[in-house]
Chains A and B, each alone.
Chain A
Amino acid sequence: MTTSTSAQSLWQRVTAPLSSGPTAYAFLTFYVVVCSVLLLTNPRTELSTDIVFVLFMLSMLVAYRSRVSAWFKVTLGAIALGIVLPYFGTLNPFYIDVATQAGIFTALALGLNVVVGFAGLLDLGYVAFFAVGAYAWAIFSTPQISNINPAWSPVDPIMFYPFLVIGLILGLITGVLLGLPVLRLRGDYLAIVTLGFGEVIRVVANNLDRPINVTNGSQGIRDIERPPLILVDLVRNLGVQADDNRLYQLFFYYLVLIILLLTVIVVAHLKNSRIGRAWEAIREDEVAAVAQGIPRVRMKLLAFAIGASFAGVMGVVFAAKQLFINPPTFDLLRSINILVMVILGGMGSIPGTMLGAIIVTMLDLQILPRTAAVIREAQAAGLPIPRQFDPTQYQRLFFGLLLVVMMIFRPEGLWPDERRREEQHEVEIGEEELEADKTVASTSADTGR
Chain B
Amino acid sequence: MAVDATVASTTARRSLGEVLGVVLGPIGQLLAFIVGSAASLALIVVVLALVLSPGQPDIMQRVVIILPQVIIDGLVRGFLFATIALGYTMVYGVLEFINFAHGEIFMIGGVIGATVSLLLVNSGTMASIPPLVFVLLVVLIAMAFCGMLAVTVERIAYRPLRNAPRLVPLISAIGMSLILQDLARLVMTNSPLGFNARYQTPDFGQPLRLFEMQVGERSVPVILSPRDLIFIVAATIMLIVLNYIVNVTKLGKAIRATAQDMPTASLMGVDVNRIIALTFLIGGALGGAAGALFGLRIGTVNPYMGLIPGLKAFTAAVLGGIGNITGAMVGGIVLGFLEAFVAAYLAIFTGGNFSGAAYADIAAFSILILLLIFRPSGLLGEATTQKV
Contacts and interface: CB of A to CB of B under 8 A. Distances in A.
B181 interface: yes
B244 to A, nearest CB: 16
B260 A449 contact: yes
B152 interface: no
A189 B176 contact: no
B182 A396 contact: yes
Given A195-B311, A200-B365, A203-B359, A343 B171 contact: yes
B97 interface: yes
A192 B177 contact: no
Interface stretch (B30-38, B74-82, B130-138, B159-167): B159-167
8 contacts: A185-B376, A197-B369, A199-B308, A200-B366, A211-B354, A397-B178, A400-B180, A443-B261
Interface of B: 93, 97-98, 156-157, 160-161, 163-164, 166-172, 174-183, 185-186, 189-190, 256, 259-264, 307-308, 311, 314-315, 318, 323-325, 350, 353-355, 358-359, 361-362, 364-366, 368-369, 372-373, 376, 382, 384-388
Contacts of A402: 175
Nearest to A438: B387
Contacts of A204: 362
A204 B358 CA distance: 8
Which of A339, A436, A445 has the most B CB atoms < 10 Å from its CB? A445
A156 interface: no
A78 interface: no
Interface of A: 120, 122, 124, 181-182, 184-189, 191-193, 195-197, 199-200, 203-204, 206-207, 210-211, 287, 332, 336, 339, 343, 386, 388, 393-394, 396-397, 399-404, 406-408, 411, 431, 435-436, 438-439, 441-443, 445-449
B388 A447 contact: no
Given A195-B311, A200-B365, A336 B174 contact: yes
A446 B369 CA distance: 24
A404 B262 contact: no
A442 B261 contact: yes
B164, B171, B354, B358 — which one has the most chain A CB atoms within 10 A of its CB?
B171
A336 B100 CA distance: 13
B369 A403 contact: no
Contacts of A193: 365, 368-369, 372
A397 B385 CA distance: 38
Contacts of B386: 287, 445
B274 to A, nearest CB: 19
Contact of B354 (A188, A210, A431, A445): A210
A192 B260 CA distance: 24
Given A404-B156, A408-B157, A188 B172 contact: no
A400 B366 CA distance: 28
The 4 residue pairs across chains A and B that have the minimum distance between CB atoms: A403-B175, A400-B178, A397-B182, A400-B179
B102 to A, nearest CB: 12
Contact of B166 (A184, A187, A207, A431): A187
A203 B362 contact: yes
A447 B323 CA distance: 12
A197 to B, nearest CB: 7
B289 to A, nearest CB: 22
Given A443-B264, A446-B384, A192 B311 contact: yes
B81 to A, nearest CB: 14
Nearest to B178: A400
B157 A188 contact: no
Contacts of A386: 190
Q: Helix, strand, loop or mixed for chain B's interface?
A: helix
Contacts of B311: 192, 195-196, 199
Given A122-B171, A207-B354, A403-B172, 19 more contacts: A120-B167, A181-B372, A181-B373, A186-B166, A189-B376, A192-B368, A196-B315, A332-B307, A397-B181, A400-B179, A400-B180, A400-B181, A407-B168, A407-B172, A435-B163, A439-B263, A442-B261, A445-B386, A446-B384
B175 A407 contact: yes
Contacts of B372: 181-182, 184-185, 189, 193
Given A122-B170, A206-B358, A408-B160, A449 B259 contact: yes
A124 B386 CA distance: 23
A186 B167 CA distance: 10
Given A445-B384, A449-B324, A404 B190 contact: no
A407 B169 contact: yes
A396 B181 contact: yes
Given A388-B189, A397-B178, A411-B168, A449 B365 contact: no
A431 B163 contact: yes
Nearest to A288: B388
A442 B186 contact: no
A187 B355 contact: no
A421 to B, nearest CB: 14
B179 A397 contact: yes
Given A181-B373, A211-B353, A343-B171, A446 B260 contact: yes
B334 to A, nearest CB: 17
A403 to B, nearest CB: 3
Given A182-B372, A401-B179, A439-B263, A207 B387 contact: no
Given A181-B369, A396-B182, A122 B167 contact: yes
Contact of A203 (B156, B183, B361, B388): B361
A447 B387 CA distance: 12
Contact of B183 (A199, A211, A388, A397): A397
Contacts of A207: 354-355, 358-359
Contacts of B315: 196
B131 to A, nearest CB: 34
A185 B386 CA distance: 11
A181 B183 CA distance: 36
Contacts of B365: 193, 196-197, 199-200
A254 to B, nearest CB: 35
A182 B369 contact: yes
A189 to B, nearest CB: 6
Nearest to A124: B174
B388 A287 contact: yes
Contacts of B350: 211
Contacts of B382: 447-448
Contact of A441 (B97, B185, B358, B388): B388
Contacts of A446: 260-261, 384
B181 A445 contact: no
Contacts of B181: 396-397, 400
Contacts of B93: 449
A439 B262 contact: yes
Contacts of A189: 318, 372, 376
A436 to B, nearest CB: 7
Nearest to B174: A403
Nearest to A437: B388
